[in-house]
Amino acid sequence: MSVVPGQPDRIRTLLSRHRPRYGEPIFRGLVGLASLTVVALIAGLILVIAQQSLTGIAHNGLAFLGGSDWDPVHQVFQALPFIYGTVFTAGTALVLAMLIGVGVAIFLVDLAPAWLARPVGLMVEMLAAIPSVVYGLWGIFVLAPWLRDFVEVPLHDTLGFLPFFSGNPIGIGNLAAVVVLTIMVLPTVAVVSRDVLAAVPISQREAALALGATRWETIRIGVLPYARSGIVGAGILGLARGVGETMAVTMVIGNAPVISLSLFSQGYTMASVIANEFSEATTNLYRSSLLEIGLLLLMVTLLINAVARLLIWRVAYGSTSRSVLA
Amino acid sequence: MTAMTDGSSSSLPAVAPDALPLSRGLPLGERASAALEHPAVQVEVGSLHAYYGRHRVLRDVTFTARPNAVTAIIGPSGCGKSTLIRCLNRMHEVTPGARVEGEVRLDGSSIYAPGIDPVVIRQRIGMVFQRPNPFPTMSIFDNVVAGLKLAGIRDRQLLDEVAERSLQRAALWDEVRDKLKSPGGALSGGQQQRLCIARAIAVEPEVILMDEPASALDPISTLKIEELMDSLRASYTIVIVTHNMQQASRVSDQTAFLTVGDDGAGYLVEFDDTATIFTNPRQRLTEDYISGRFG
């Protein structure tokens, strides 16, 4: 359309007319308030939990972290078995989930054709959508008996002399918790690793291919090193999920404050003890001690999450190649 | 998301060898004759068509890159220059849905023949990309010898020798000799590109392909890369894609001019000695392009 003489002036006049701007501060105020709410929630949560656990911290002292005696009747609250249980189950599950999850991610990004990568990726994501109590039910009624009959008994009979396979194979215990946790951590590790691998520039793959690298060698020298810190981040994010997971673990781990290397032993985690005992915590000290466990759990997961996000961010959004150098 | 599918090439129609313009024995370019260190091999392209899915991006390209000479591929944006050069070391087929018809011969034998492993082809035909792409987590040294280590070479003394020689030939040795252990990603853009050239020549390829190797670099770095091409000519056959006609006229012995046809596919308009293309082209299209009338 050609410009009609006089039209620019008309448009300029229209544009220069005053239009009310009071909506501007309201809009800014509203979205600012919404964001502030989140910040206030987190700060308030930490503050209240910390404040409420002060009684426990004062009474229990350092033995809370180092002792293994949990006896509410005699007012002894030592959380080491729970800390150990959390670290043991989440750590073992993480190792397994990393092996499977990074494999899945490599397959989805670099090997699978598009028609396969999309549905498989979707299925992995759906693993994360299954409610934790469903995993727990499946774990206690299906997985635990199966593990007992087909994994624990044979392992006990053949390798029972190893500390990992000693004790009574009854199904319920650390192994069941580790398997359930692995399945629950897997989607986090796989999906984040997939996104991190997909963010590795094509030029890195081409650099390796052009040198005469095979497909696996290309992944090994061009893709994985570049994504290294992001994959570590995926693992740490998975660890955060494993550490905080409550319901499913509580249902299959046996809930006995035992410190044992054995996969067959019953165990207890920080999250499980809170879930199991909050309704019995009648004394102020008991309640405060449970909150102390909660505070510890909160701090650990917050820290883990922060580190993970930092690492992932550096791969996905780091502007220069230098940023991936750990 | 990148699925790397090394598409099979077994369905390619065989092209009779005598259908190819064999140029072995042609007189070498003036500059190339100066210092011939190492006899290189020729790359013959015959009736090459390239596709992305059903879309044809290159139509019927035929030319021969002379040994120990620099062959430039020029043409307007979208004419398939980069696709063409990526067909020469079987990198085109890495893109999902991409395929090739026709013939590319390295020293007389087809690189698309059934049973030929693209990995072997890419060892013999090195490539330097538009954007420098060193492996950022590897040291400078490890970047240079990455191809050798892939091949299982662990002899430390040999690796040291190759690294030094390759860096020297890539005119980078003096700048990095004291920091071979520092990461390759920490170098400047121009240095990174020379590092990539060093990495490519470390595996002693017979041909080096360069896809606009200087287009992301400043003028001084560009000059260094051009000088480098001039010296590498003594040992290798070099094919370079450039959108810069002055660069083509400065560095190359032969020039292929491509443009986009009405069907959207790039085709070869003219192929000749660079001097002829730039001073006395046979085709009107070529003349219009090099004189800046289009493109």
Could you report the average pLDDT of every consecutive run of 10 residues in chain B (295 residues)?
41 40 37 54 94 94 95 93 95 91 93 93 94 93 94 93 94 93 90 95 94 90 91 93 92 95 93 94 92 76
Concatenating the DSSP letter of every residue in B163-189 gives HHHHHHHTT-HHHHTT-TTSBGGGS-H
Q: Quick one: which of B119, B106, B118 has its CA closest to B151?
A: B119
CA distance B22 to chain A (A): 27
Q: Contacts of residue B3 in chain A, CB cutoff 8 Å?
A: 110-114, 117
pLDDT digits (tens, 9 = 90+) for A143-192: 999 999 999 999 988 888 888 888 888 889 999 999 999 999 999 999 99
**Backbone conformation region of residue A209, classed left if phi is above 0, alpha if psi is from -120 to 50, else beta:** alpha
Taking the C-alpha atoms of residue B259 and residue B61, their distance in angstroms, rounded to an integer, is 11
How crowded is the C-beta side of A295, counted as CA atoms within 13 Å?
A: 22
Interface test with B, best of A111, A116, A211 (most B CBs within 10 A): A211
**Backbone conformation region of residue A130, classed left if phi is above 0, alpha if psi is from -120 to 50, else beta:** beta
Task: DSSP letter for B47, please.
Answer: E
Q: Contacts of residue A217 in chain B, CB cutoff 8 Å?
A: 150
Helices of type H across chain B = 81-87, 118-124, 140-144, 146-150, 156-169, 173-176, 189-202, 219-232, 245-251, 274-279, 284-290
Instruction: With H, G, I as helix, E, B as strand and everything else as coil, classify residue B256.
Output: strand
ipTM of the complex as predicted = 0.82
Q: Quick one: tokens of B251?
A: 């560095």
- Residue B194 pLDDT: 94
Q: Are strands B70-74 and B98-106 parallel, antiparallel or unpaired?
A: unpaired
Using the Cβ of B191 and the Cβ atoms of chain A, whether some distance falls under 8 Å is answered with: no
Out of A198, A211, A324, closest to residue B1 by CB: A198
Q: Is the pLDDT of residue A194 over 60?
A: yes
Is B166 within 8 Å of B144 (Cβ atoms)? Answer: yes
Residue position matching structure tokens 């229990």: A60
Instruction: With H, G, I as helix, E, B as strand and everything else as coil, classify residue B212.
Output: coil
Taking the C-alpha atoms of residue B61 and residue B50, their distance in angstroms, rounded to an integer, is 9
Cβ distance of B3 and A117 shorter than 8 Å: yes
Average pLDDT value for residue range A259-269: 91
Q: Quick one: which of B269, B244, B268 has its CA closest to B84?
A: B268
- Residue B237 pLDDT: 95
Residue position matching structure tokens 């660079």: B274
Average pLDDT of every residue of chain A = 90
Which residue ranges form the domains of chain B, and what is each CATH number?
A: 34-290 (3.40.50.300)
Is A312 within 8 Å of A233 (Cβ atoms)? Answer: yes
Concatenating the DSSP letter of every residue in A135-152 gives HHHHIIIIIHHHHIIIII
Interface test with B, best of A106, A214, A321 (most B CBs within 10 A): A321
- Residue A169 pLDDT: 86
Q: Quick one: tokens of B28?
A: 């070498």
Burial label for B45, CB within 10 Å (0-12, 13-18, 19+), is buried
Q: Are strands B98-106 and B109-110 parallel, antiparallel or unpaired?
A: antiparallel
CA distance B207 to chain A (A): 12
Buried b (16+ CB within 10 A) or exposed e, A115-142: eebeeebeebeebeeeebeebbbbbbee
User: In the structure, what pLDDT confidence band is assigned to residue A122 with cuts at 50, 70 and 90?
Assistant: very high
Cβ distance of B2 and A325 shorter than 8 Å: no
Cβ distance of A325 and B203 shorter than 8 Å: no
Cβ distance of A207 and B133 shorter than 8 Å: yes
Q: Contacts of residue B116 in chain A, CB cutoff 8 Å?
A: none
CA distance B145 to chain A (A): 10
**Backbone conformation region of residue B67, classed left if phi is above 0, alpha if psi is from -120 to 50, else beta:** beta
Phi, psi of A117 (to 5 degrees): -65, -40
Cβ distance of B4 and A205 shorter than 8 Å: yes
Q: Contacts of residue B147 in chain A, CB cutoff 8 Å?
A: 211-212
Q: Contacts of residue A109 in chain B, CB cutoff 8 Å?
A: 1-2
Cα A96 to the chain's mean position, in Å? Answer: 14
- Residue A165 pLDDT: 87
Q: Quick one: tokens of B93?
A: 């087929």
Q: How far is CA A192 from CA A115, A198, B258, in A?
A: 20, 10, 43
- Residue A5 pLDDT: 67
- Residue B44 pLDDT: 94
Is A288 within 8 Å of A54 (Cβ atoms)? Answer: yes
| Choice among A100-114, A122-136, B28-42, B92-106 with the minimum mean pLDDT | B28-42
User: In the structure, what pLDDT confidence band is assigned to residue A13 with cuts at 50, 70 and 90?
Assistant: confident
Is B176 within 8 Å of B194 (Cβ atoms)? Answer: no
How crowded is the C-beta side of A218, counted as CA atoms within 13 Å?
A: 29
Which residue ranges form the domains of chain A, and what is each CATH number?
A: 52-324 (1.10.3720.10)
Taking the C-alpha atoms of residue B123 and residue B141, their distance in angstroms, rounded to an integer, is 19
